Amino acid sequence: MRHSTPVLALAAMLAAAAVLIAGPLTPPPGPPASTPKTLNEVEPRIPISSLPAVINAPGSYYLTANLFNAISTSDSITIGTPNVTLDLNGFVLSGGAFAIAVNAGGAGGSVTITNGTIRGASSAINANIFGGDGSIPIIVRDVRFQNILGTAIITQSNALIERCTFRSVGTAVLAGTNATIRDCITIDNRSAGFDVNVGSTIERSVASFINSSGAGATGFVLRPGSSASRVIAHNVSTPPSGLNLAVFLDSSSSLRDSNIFNSHFGVTASSGARVDGVSFHALSGIPYSTNVSSTGATIENSLFTAANNAIGFAGNSTANTVRNNIIRGTTINPNPNTNVGIGINVTPGATATITGNLIGNINRAIALQSSFNTVHSNTFNLVGSNVSGFAAGSAPAGANLIGPINAAAAATTSQSPLVNLLF
């Protein structure tokens, strides 16, 4: 068998060749076609290269350059159809000084706008047709707004606005119902920061240095049933003055785990509103850091420091709750018996249940000017007077349930469980 090795090698080569040529000989169906991508496959979106532009078909659009609208009274981009995504592509959309940069009021459905800068228009993004609250759910993400004459973003219901920055605009956002705003910053505004309608949420956002020159600014406006958490409002007006307000809570809205400082007024709360875990600092406003103007509000677990006055209940503001807060004023005797230096002020006609609070370094801890209030289990430290009428040391008005106020005697085991401590 001298030839066995070459024979085997030849057999192996034939077998290998058979494997190598074993592919199908039939060509793929259809006409021959190029395998590289076409340019339209590389960028299938629709370019926008000049202004004004009108979008009348659903789809994905993008800017191809910084675009300036030289027609001051013409909207820059008008969206008249739903299901549109507009990518600013990192570019700047500007001009149209007396018009809207992106008018989505006629979209009638979903619109998404992302990734770029809008500046120099009367309004930046407007999806609010006829001032109504319809159904154009708009998403605005990663957009910077600057030098907008009026409101930067106006939306209908179900808007999502995130990671946007607003500078030198009138109002940052005026949103319809059920909006979500998060991770947004607004500074140097002329009017309001974020104003959201019924059932909206705001989280992790900042409103600061609003209306530096004067009057009427508001950091956050929460319409009924809305919620804000982990937000900061500061320097709402510089210097703090005028009617500027950090947060307005409409009925049944809430503010949680947030900071408010170096401003004029802190929070104005309406019926059923709730303030929980908020830190107030250095608010110069008179009358109060938190002013409750209606019924059934709750203020709890919050911290008030360096304030002229902390919490005030206006007349006819009834059935309110103030519990587990810490209130520290500026000094025990700043200007006694004026409207400066009151921890909790219940004005005639108002009622509140006030429990578990620590109030210190202030002229009057609690001023009860009305009947039917409950005051117990509070602690008073370094106060001019603890529970009084409007004047320090005067008797509270009317018939109130006030737990005994004791100092050393409270250390015994025989005190009322409703005792207020004084030290």
Return residues touching other proteins (CB under 8 A). Answer: 39-40, 42-43, 47, 49, 63-66, 89-92, 115-117, 119, 142, 144, 146, 163, 165, 167, 183, 185, 187, 204-206, 208-209, 230, 232, 234-235, 257-259, 261-262, 277, 279, 281-282, 301, 303, 305-306, 326, 328, 358, 360-361, 379, 381-382, 407-408, 410-417, 419, 421, 423
CB of 27 to other proteins, least distance (A): 27
Positive or negative, the CA dihedral 40, 41, 43, 44 is: positive
CB of 139 to other proteins, least distance (A): 17
Q: Which residues of 61-73 are buried (b: 16+ CB within 10 A; e: fewer)?
A: bbbeeebebeeee
Task: Specify the residue, 206 or 221, whose C-beta has the smaller distance to other proteins.
Answer: 206
Q: 325 and 300 in contact (C-beta within 8 Å)?
A: yes
Task: Specify the residue, 218 or 271, whose C-beta has the smaller distance to other proteins.
Answer: 218
Scan for tokens 């030198």, then name that residue.
Answer: 168
Task: Specify the residue, 132 or 239, whose C-beta has the smaller distance to other proteins.
Answer: 239
Q: 181 and 196 in contact (C-beta within 8 Å)?
A: yes
Closest CA to 51 of 17, 96, 19: 96
Q: 405 and 379 in contact (C-beta within 8 Å)?
A: no
CB of 134 to other proteins, least distance (A): 31
Whole-angstrom Cα Rg for the chain: 32
Task: Specify the residue, 104 or 207, whose C-beta has the smaller distance to other proteins.
Answer: 207
CB of 78 to other proteins, least distance (A): 21
Task: Specify the residue, 144 or 223, whose C-beta has the smaller distance to other proteins.
Answer: 144
Task: Specify the residue, 184 or 198, whose C-beta has the smaller distance to other proteins.
Answer: 184
CB of 13 to other proteins, least distance (A): 46
Residues making up the chain, counted from first to last: 423
For residue 52, cis peptide bond before it (omega within 30 degrees of 0): yes
Q: Which residues of 334-361 are buried (b: 16+ CB within 10 A; e: fewer)?
A: eeebeebbbbbbbbeebbbbbbebbbbb
Task: Specify the residue, 5 or 414, whose C-beta has the smaller distance to other proteins.
Answer: 414
CB of 406 to other proteins, least distance (A): 9
Helix, strand or coil, per DSSP, at residue 202:
strand
CB of 297 to other proteins, least distance (A): 21
CB of 423 to other proteins, least distance (A): 4
d(CA 324, CA 310): 14
Task: Specify the residue, 258 or 385, whose C-beta has the smaller distance to other proteins.
Answer: 258
Scan for tokens 């982990």, then name that residue.
Answer: 230
Positive or negative, the CA dihedral 160, 162, 164, 170 is: positive
